[in-house]
Structure 1
């Protein structure tokens, strides 16, 4: 039997552009934690949430027959920024979205998407192409009404009414308002600092820098999903500037970018500030950085090293792992979700039905360090027995190759 383990981990999670209230995030976390229990044959308990101005936090204890891990989970809040954007009317949103589209095209981002991952280029074009189709339908409605009534005024009015109606139901069903806001935010993030997020990230970065000196945790994990991976880099860069020795001594510091949109921002010519932050984080060799990707997730850059793609010369950073979503969930569930791109994308932060090399909750709550889970070919699968026990052989499992893209094959 493996030597019993008692580990403490501090986690900072930054979610993507999805306006989930802290209470709802806590309920989803609790629900998905139950999947983790069942899949890995472990026991867990979770405290109630404590919601502050910058983070919402709760504690999780996970244990197997011969190990126990205490995790303090801190969700960095920014749903208020997203909700503020959602409140603006479509007549204001549309011109801002079109400005963002032109900006990303002129700045070479679209060409970068096509060069790096054509699926992401499709994701970028999706809301604008469908918006163009809805506008065309409104024009057709106006032309038909004008011909039938023999009145240009009636045609104009009919076209406007059709456009307004199309922007209400079909546009929302196609997620156009949310995607427009996403690209508007991304342009603003590149062009200027955010008056809400900047002071908030400064405060959280000071907290992380202080924990790097005095925390009782064995490991601090900063994990960013989707556009949250961009913010995770930003946050960690600020913490490193406050405490350059962060991660050189205990606690260990790990960064995980999962289903990330790092290149969404990084391939824009105007994103010098962000690329500089990526360069500083990548160059901090004491920080272990892993990037998880999946082919079926159109909202990430499959089989691409984000640091290299940005033209940064930091060899071997990050470790890139390409995993299969279908290996994480039961076949019936996968068949239901595979055509819903958002559900596939969110599997990176949900509980798995099946033991797999990537498991969000195992990274957060498992007995192996993040680095070991990333470097082991099958993650924690070979290390955890069918009864949830940590195997004696876990310490001797072979590491994957050092090359970040060889590691993902």
Structure 2
């Protein structure tokens, strides 16, 4: 279907999407290309029309989407709320600093007991957290073995201090080599990710808190514009950023006449932060947002994604669920059912790719379809009205820290 010649079905549904990435150092054009490629694939599979063009609203980075599906025609402007510069800065550590970060991160999760409580929820994300520690220690061990053997071999020909200096240089060179190859194994990347989350024991680092305030201002401004829905999407670490941003936005007061406000959290890892002792701000925001009627909040994860806390209600497991709790509605993307057996077999052990599947096409789509949600003519609340939580939802309180602050 050619969107440019599609007759006017009625007034187009208008949406603004604010996408908050997880801990990702890459340029936001990556998300545009991911959306473009997979929107076309999903449209072909599901029989609707969707097209992209340059954005029509102000902001640092985004794109415009036109969609024809279901009950009508939709125009969506997507904006990526960029914090990749903060990520790159946190990753710009030397070898020694990275290993010191690793030790501090281990101390944060083991010393507070958080790691043991998290393991009772889901073992997948904990194994994913242990992977970079094991990998970095193995790399260090291998480098030390090579360095010691080299120093001993050179000791027969060189002044011993020079031989050991050469061995030490070999250790550093080998570790630099491992770091350059990290785009294939993600060990250093994941170590920086977990270290950033644990750096302040759950409190927001000042530079991130400042950026979140700018994100909140952008969403606040959009709420005063003429559109039908403001949809905030938080993926991975971006989910808990989105929760705190919207909690502050609602506390500050919303316009009386405004679009529908929706929150979609995907592949969330909220407990990795909310279980830490100084995460009182995040726990307070979870508590507050879970009972608000100003928004609709849908949380989508999948047991097939080992990097998320699949089907864990982030409010309940954090121990801050209030009486009369309304949100989130916890749903499963059910990768083993919504991907064909062939695709599931091909992707099952590609853990990092599976963590991004929420933003991609499904060849056997169920009721979760990222492109219908972002480019279709229904609000998030209308789309999932009357939907029950997915079976297997985990809602038992598990955090050892439940203090809250606004």
Range of TM-score over shorter length:
0.7 to 0.9
Q: Distance in 2 between matches of 1:299 and 1:249?
A: 39
Alignment of 1:323-342 (within 5 A): 323-342=333-352
Residue 268 of structure 2 is aligned to residue 257 of structure 1 = no
Alignment of 1:172-183 (within 5 A): 172=182, 173-183=184-194
Residue 4 of structure 2 is aligned to residue 17 of structure 1 = no
Q: Hey, what does 1:97 align to over in structure 2?
A: 102
Q: What secondary structure does 2:26 align onto?
A: coil
Q: Distance in 1 between matches of 2:140 and 2:165?
A: 13
**Are the counterparts in 1 of residues 65 and 375 from structure 2 also a CA contact under 8 Å?**
yes
Q: Hey, what does 1:360 align to over in structure 2?
A: 370
CA drift at 1:280: 1.7
Q: Which runs of 5+ in 2 are unaligned?
A: 1-8, 395-406
Q: Hey, what does 2:174 align to over in structure 1?
A: 165
Residue 318 of structure 2 is aligned to residue 307 of structure 1 = no
Q: What secondary structure does 2:24 align onto?
A: coil
CA pair 163-296 structure 1, distance change in 2 beyond 3 A: farther
Q: Hey, what does 1:135 align to over in structure 2?
A: 140
Q: Distance in 2 between matches of 1:70 and 1:340?
A: 34
Q: Hey, what does 1:110 align to over in structure 2?
A: 115
Corresponding residue to 2:128 among 123, 131, 135 = 123
Q: What secondary structure does 1:304 align onto?
A: coil
Deviations 1:109-161 (A, max 9, x none): 21121111111111111111122222222333345446656677546743651
CA pair 193-227 structure 1, distance change in 2 beyond 3 A: closer
Q: Distance in 2 between matches of 1:287 and 1:66?
A: 23
CA pair 190-316 structure 1, distance change in 2 beyond 3 A: same
Q: Distance in 2 between matches of 1:237 and 1:221?
A: 14
CA pair 209-49 structure 1, distance change in 2 beyond 3 A: closer
Q: What secondary structure does 1:8 align onto?
A: strand
Q: Distance in 2 between matches of 1:190 and 1:222?
A: 26
CA pair 321-66 structure 1, distance change in 2 beyond 3 A: closer
Greater Cα offset, 304-313 or 234-243: 234-243
Greater Cα offset, 355-364 or 189-198: 189-198
Residue 27 of structure 2 is aligned to residue 47 of structure 1 = no
Q: Distance in 1 between matches of 2:126 and 2:71?
A: 47
Q: Hey, what does 1:387 align to over in structure 2?
A: none
Q: Distance in 1 between matches of 2:349 and 2:126?
A: 18
Q: Hey, what does 1:6 align to over in structure 2?
A: 12
Q: Hey, what does 2:3 align to over in structure 1?
A: none
Q: What secondary structure does 2:137 align onto?
A: helix
**Are the counterparts in 2 of residues 321 and 407 from structure 1 also a CA contact under 8 Å?**
no
**Are the counterparts in 2 of residues 229 and 257 from structure 1 also a CA contact under 8 Å?**
yes
Q: Hey, what does 1:220 align to over in structure 2?
A: 230
CA pair 163-328 structure 1, distance change in 2 beyond 3 A: farther
CA drift at 1:102: 1.2
Q: Distance in 2 between matches of 1:285 and 1:302?
A: 25
TM-score (norm 2): 0.83
Q: What secondary structure does 2:312 align onto?
A: coil
CA drift at 1:66: 5.1
**Are the counterparts in 2 of residues 5 and 367 from structure 1 also a CA contact under 8 Å?**
no
Q: Distance in 1 between matches of 2:212 and 2:278?
A: 21
Q: Distance in 2 between matches of 1:355 and 1:118?
A: 27
**Are the counterparts in 2 of residues 12 and 222 from structure 1 also a CA contact under 8 Å?**
yes
CA pair 109-5 structure 1, distance change in 2 beyond 3 A: farther
CA pair 21-218 structure 1, distance change in 2 beyond 3 A: same
Q: Distance in 2 between matches of 1:38 and 1:199?
A: 41
Q: Distance in 1 between matches of 2:215 and 2:231?
A: 14
Q: Distance in 2 between matches of 1:284 and 1:408?
A: 21
Q: Which runs of 5+ in 1 are unaligned?
A: 376-398
CA drift at 1:179: 1.0
Q: Distance in 2 between matches of 1:359 and 1:49?
A: 22
Q: Hey, what does 1:296 align to over in structure 2?
A: 304
**Are the counterparts in 2 of residues 209 and 242 from structure 1 also a CA contact under 8 Å?**
no
Q: What secondary structure does 1:9 align onto?
A: strand
CA drift at 1:96: 2.0
Q: Hey, what does 1:388 align to over in structure 2?
A: none
Corresponding residue to 1:371 among 359, 381, 396 = 381
Residue 68 of structure 2 is aligned to residue 69 of structure 1 = no
Corresponding residue to 1:58 among 56, 63, 69 = 63
